[in-house]
């Protein structure tokens, strides 16, 4: 089954661009990580809101809370697609890096995806 690519776009033929299984799962994780709760009208509790943390204070407590928030959101919204193995959060200055290690339930393949927002310094 093909899935629509996120962000939405067109392919070379002018049709809706598809995403393969790996790309689609990555797209879904990225949507959850960087959607702010309240941003979606019909799903006001969807997302993590990590963009708000980019300019917040750095501390081990904030990193641990972020890791917990990410784990909870991914387990809630993607439990039917992935088994979450590990979430690693690194925050330095205005840069936030999240690494998500998971097992895709469709074929039990282990995957790892990294997401970065902000700039170093």
b/e string for 5-38 if b means 16 or more Cβ within 10 A? beeeeeeeeeeebebebeebbbbbbbbbbbbeee
Helices (H), the chain: 21-34, 60-78
pLDDT above 80: residue 9: no
Residue 84: count other Cβ atoms within 10 Å of its Cβ: 17
pLDDT above 90: residue 94: no
pLDDT per residue over 97-109, tens digit each? 899 999 999 889 9
pLDDT per residue over 61-87, tens digit each? 778 888 999 999 999 999 999 999 999
Cα 45–Cα 74–Cα 32 angle in degrees, nearest 5: 55
How many angstroms separate the most distant Cα atoms in the chain? 49
pLDDT above 90: residue 120: no
Q: What's the whole-model pTM score?
A: 0.77
pLDDT above 50: residue 43: yes
Domains in the chain: ranges and CATH = 3-119 (3.10.450.40)
């Amino acid at each position: 089954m093909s899935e629509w690519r996120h962000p939405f776009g067109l392919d070379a033929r002018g049709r809706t661009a598809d995403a393969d299984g790996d790309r689609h799962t990555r797209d879904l994780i990225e949507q959850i990580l960087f959607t702010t709760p309240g941003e979606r009208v019909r799903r006001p509790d969807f997302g993590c809101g990590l963009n708000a943390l980019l300019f917040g204070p750095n501390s081990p407590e904030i990193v641990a809370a972020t890791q917990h928030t990410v784990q909870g959101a991914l387990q809630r919204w993607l439990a039917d697609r992935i088994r979450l193995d590990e979430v690693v959060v690194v925050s330095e200055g205005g840069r936030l890096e999240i690494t998500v290690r998971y097992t895709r339930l469709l074929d039990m393949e282990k995957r790892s995806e990294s997401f970065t927002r902000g700039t170093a310094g």
